[in-house]
């Protein structure tokens, strides 16, 4: 399914099975997710775009999960539960505590500290994290530890996301046609700040030979295409829609520079993938990004919501091939420090401590 947390769960599942564990996945009832003997869907059918929203559909599904959990946990008898969604973790925690099954939870991005989210969502997340009885709350960026501690939640532990560096060969010097290709990969949602990337294209049009590839799908797709047309950059901004894994890797390898203009983030998997592909990176200094990517060393960082500054950094990289090479080499070295194997091992240690403690 589209989304970094879904990709994380899938990647960790593969590693944990390789280690020798049995893994069951409980997830929302979305068509994008295939049925599997170890994958269980619950609740009303919903779209992936609604899973981060408080809707009547979602609330009914979570109430269903409360009752479903007692029956399913009795049947599966898991040693530990790892939640990747605070609300799901909260509603299954009642059954988990009844059967004395410890729960850990991963925050893929913390919203209660960010006033860009509306009050009810922020309040609900803080409530779920406080009262779900999680043994550990895992954050994917170090900034998350400070946010948790600020509100008195002392159970935080840092385990970064990983990347499969074996999927990406080292980026080779290629014959240039003179055109610079910028790449964005991700969900086409407000959070990703793509309107500012399209604004940047407007500022740069006519000054350089370039194009912007926007790979992904989401609720904002049609609005963004309309914006590109209104700003008269539809000829240099290409929307690919959702791509297969092989087609996506091909885009990483054929493009020159990766751009992530997000308004808020945890630690985006797409940045680690871009680094593994050896792409020079331009990203906004939000969330956990500055704790991993250093401006001028392995990326160029810009303020969020600033199309003109973003255009300036894009112009700088287009005109400075040496800087491109420096950032490319540093990004690849950074990616080699991260792997799903390491993440799975760190989590296994946490699981064992929680099981023993319980």
**123: its two tokens:** 């309040």
Buried/exposed 178-195: b ≥16 CB within 10 Å, e otherwise: eebebbbbbbbbebbbbb
Q: Which residues pair with 216 in a beta bridge?
A: 241
* Residue that wins the pLDDT comparison between 242 and 113: 242
Q: What is the pLDDT of residue 262?
A: 96
Q: Which residue has the tokens 């009914």?
A: 60
Comparing CA positions, the residue from 107, 198, 214, 213 lying closest to residue 151 is 107
Q: What is the mean pLDDT of the chain?
A: 91
Distance CA 74, CA 95 (A): 9
Termini Cα distance of the chain? 33
Whether residue 174 has pLDDT greater than 70: no
Distance CA 103, CA 137 (A): 9
Q: What is the pLDDT of residue 2?
A: 58
Distance CA 299, CA 153 (A): 32
The string of pLDDT tens digits covering residues 270-310 is 999 999 999 999 999 998 899 899 999 999 999 999 999 99
**214: its two tokens:** 């926007």
Q: Which residues pair with 27 in a beta bridge?
A: 41
The string of pLDDT tens digits covering residues 303-340 is 999 999 999 999 999 999 999 999 999 999 999 889 89
Q: What is the pLDDT of residue 300?
A: 98
Question: What is the average per-residue pLDDT within 185-201?
Answer: 95
Q: Which domains are delineated in the chain?
A: 4-162+339-357 (3.40.50.2000), 165-335 (3.40.50.2000)
Distance CA 138, CA 19 (A): 21
Whether residue 173 has pLDDT greater than 60: no
Hey, which of 40-44, 151-155, 200-204 has the most confident mean pLDDT?
A: 200-204
The string of pLDDT tens digits covering residues 116-136 is 777 888 899 999 999 999 999
* Residue that wins the pLDDT comparison between 4 and 62: 62
Distance CA 200, CA 206 (A): 12
Query: Which has the minimum average pLDDT: 25-39, 77-91, 188-202, 225-239?
Result: 25-39
């Amino acid at each position: 399914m589209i989304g970094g947390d879904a990709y994380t769960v899938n990647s960790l599942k593969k590693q944990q099975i390789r280690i020798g564990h049995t893994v069951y996945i409980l997830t929302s009832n979305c068509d994008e997710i295939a049925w599997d003997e170890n994958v269980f869907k619950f609740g009303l059918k919903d779209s992936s775009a609604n899973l981060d929203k408080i809707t009547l559909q979602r609330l009914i599904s979570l109430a269903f999960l409360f009752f479903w959990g007692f029956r399913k946990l009795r049947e599966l008898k898991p040693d530990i539960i790892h939640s990747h969604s605070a609300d799901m973790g909260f509603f299954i925690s009642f059954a988990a505590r009844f059967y004395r099954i410890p729960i850990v939870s991963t925050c893929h991005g913390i919203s209660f500290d960010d006033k860009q989210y509306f009050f009810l969502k922020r309040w609900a997340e803080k409530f779920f994290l406080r009262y779900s009885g999680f043994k550990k709350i895992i954050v994917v960026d170090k900034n998350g530890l400070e946010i948790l501690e600020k509100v008195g939640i002392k159970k935080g532990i840092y385990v970064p996301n990983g990347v499969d560096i074996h999927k990406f060969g080292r980026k080779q010097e290629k014959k240039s046609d003179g055109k610079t290709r910028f790449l964005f990969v991700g969900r086409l949602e407000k959070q990703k700040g793509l309107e500012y990337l399209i604004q940047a294209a407007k500022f740069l049009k006519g000054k350089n030979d370039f194009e912007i590839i926007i790979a992904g799908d989401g609720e904002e797709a049609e609005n963004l295409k309309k914006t590109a047309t209104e700003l008269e950059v539809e000829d240099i901004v290409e929307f690919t829609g959702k791509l297969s894994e092989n087609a996506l890797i091909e885009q990483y390898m054929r493009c020159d520079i990766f751009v992530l203009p997000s308004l808020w983030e945890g630690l985006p998997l797409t940045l680690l993938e871009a680094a593994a592909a050896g792409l020079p990176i331009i990203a906004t200094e939000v969330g956990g990004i500055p704790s991993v990517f250093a401006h001028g060393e392995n990326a160029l960082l810009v303020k969020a919501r600033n199309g003109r500054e973003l255009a300036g950094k894009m112009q700088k990289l287009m005109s400075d091939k040496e800087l491109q090479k420096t950032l490319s080499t540093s990004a690849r070295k950074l990616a080699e420090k991260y792997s799903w194997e390491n993440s799975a091992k760190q989590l296994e240690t946490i699981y064992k401590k929680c099981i023993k403690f319980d």
